[in-house]
């Protein structure tokens, strides 16, 4: 229980309401968009918990920042029997959750259509490091070695780390629309094409100095019809006008805030997974949890739609 001591250990009425709200949202999306071969798979009719309930429990746990799956499972079992009268075995719960990773991603993609962002012409692009262990333990780590983990450098933190890099696309408001995971050594520019491959219309990407390059900008424009705006280095011979630079800096603060929320409130950089499968599922759950809060604020008409912490606490 050490990982859970900073969190409430008794039921909370607000959290009960939040459980219900998230479940209704997830279940509606699940019934409408998940293929029948998944919904009607073998032995699903004998399951103690539905897929929607498992995803809901996972999302709320991620929003509370609980890093221990065991602690969160035990807490829900003891304190929320009114919502979940019967809980399946913990190992079965975690196994089904991992098998639902693709479903979780599909629900997140489908939610984009309800946020009225599909017609937005602009996206902000950035990346953040995802170390899987302390640097001193990297050479002993075997869990992720066969799954692409390697050494990379994070300029903002000025440190070398071992693990992965998460590349993110978000709207000008900060809502995350797409993300991919690459080895830590992959250049930011190399990941752009996979992020935008399904966009079939004109788009403007706003990036930092990690996305500089005439070759990248030309290829994006020629093959995808996408315009890349990347801030130039300080020693560049030509610079954008000061007013334009200030505007770009202001816009890019939004994605930096969103990444900060992922790292601070959802502990996305805390990797306790024992397999790449588990890491992928936790990351997908955190991204869906982040977007669910945005969507709920959108439905409630909250003025500051990016305030997600107040929904849970």
Number of domains in the chain: 2
Inform me whether the pLDDT recorded for 119 exceeds 60. no
Banded pLDDT at 50 (limits 50, 70, 90)? very high
The answer as to whether 297 is a domain residue is no
Tell me whether residue 276 is in a domain.
no
Range of the domain at 251: 117-268
Same domain, 72 and 137: no
For residue 170, tell me if it sits in a domain: yes
Question: Binning pLDDT at 50, 70 and 90, where does residue 7 land?
Answer: very low
81 and 179 together in one domain: no
Q: Is residue 196 part of a domain?
A: yes
Distance of CA 244 to the CA centre of its chain: 30
Average pLDDT, whole number, for the chain? 86
Residues 262-301, buried b or exposed e (16+ Cβ, 10 A)? bbebbbbbebebeebebbbbbbbbbbbbbbbbbbbbbeee
Give the pLDDT confidence of 125-159 residue by residue, as tens digits.
Answer: 999 999 998 888 888 888 888 888 999 999 888 89
- pLDDT 10s digits, 208-240: 888 988 889 898 888 888 899 887 776 666 677
Give the least confident one: 11-25, 95-109, 235-249.
Answer: 235-249
Q: Which one of 55, 70, 99 terminates a domain?
A: 99
Comparison of pLDDT for 68 and 288, the residue scoring more: 288
Identify whether residues 8 and 82 lie together within a single domain.
yes
At 84, give phi and psi (nearest 5°).
Answer: -130, 80
Query: Do residues 262 and 123 share a domain?
Result: yes
Helix (H, G, I), strand (E, B) or coil at 125: strand
Identify whether residues 14 and 141 lie together within a single domain.
no
């Amino acid at each position: 229980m050490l990982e859970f001591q900073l969190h409430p250990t008794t039921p909370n009425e607000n959290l009960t309401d939040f459980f219900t709200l998230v479940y209704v949202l997830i279940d509606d999306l699940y019934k409408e968009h998940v293929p029948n071969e998944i919904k009607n798979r073998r032995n699903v009719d004998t399951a103690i918990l539905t897929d929607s309930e498992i995803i809901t429990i996972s999302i709320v746990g991620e929003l509370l920042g609980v890093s221990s799956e065991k602690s969160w499972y035990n807490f829900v079992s003891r304190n929320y029997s009114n919502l979940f009268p019967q809980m399946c075995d913990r190992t079965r719960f975690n196994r089904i959750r991992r098998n639902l990773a693709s479903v979780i991603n599909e629900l997140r993609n489908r939610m984009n259509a309800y946020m009225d962002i599909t017609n937005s012409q602009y996206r902000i692009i950035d990346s953040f490091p995802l170390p899987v262990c302390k640097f001193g333990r990297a050479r002993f780590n075997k869990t992720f070695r066969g799954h692409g983990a390697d050494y990379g450098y994070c300029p903002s933190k000025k440190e070398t780390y071992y693990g992965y890099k998460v590349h993110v696309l978000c709207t000008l408001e900060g809502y995350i629309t797409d993300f991919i995971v690459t080895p830590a050594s992959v250049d930011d520019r190399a990941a752009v094409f996979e992020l935008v491959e399904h966009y079939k219309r004109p788009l403007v990407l706003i990036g930092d100095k990690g996305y500089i390059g005439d070759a990248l900008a030309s290829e994006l424009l020629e093959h995808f019809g996408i315009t890349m705006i990347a801030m130039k280095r300080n020693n560049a011979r030509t610079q954008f006008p000061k007013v334009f630079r200030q505007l770009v800096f202001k816009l890019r603060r939004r994605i930096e805030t969103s990444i900060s929320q992922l790292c601070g409130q959802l502990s996305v950089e805390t990797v306790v997974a024992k397999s790449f499968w588990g890491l992928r599922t936790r990351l997908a759950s955190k991204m869906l949890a982040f977007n669910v809060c945005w969507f709920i604020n959108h439905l409630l008409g909250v003025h500051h739609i990016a305030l997600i912490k107040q929904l849970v606490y």
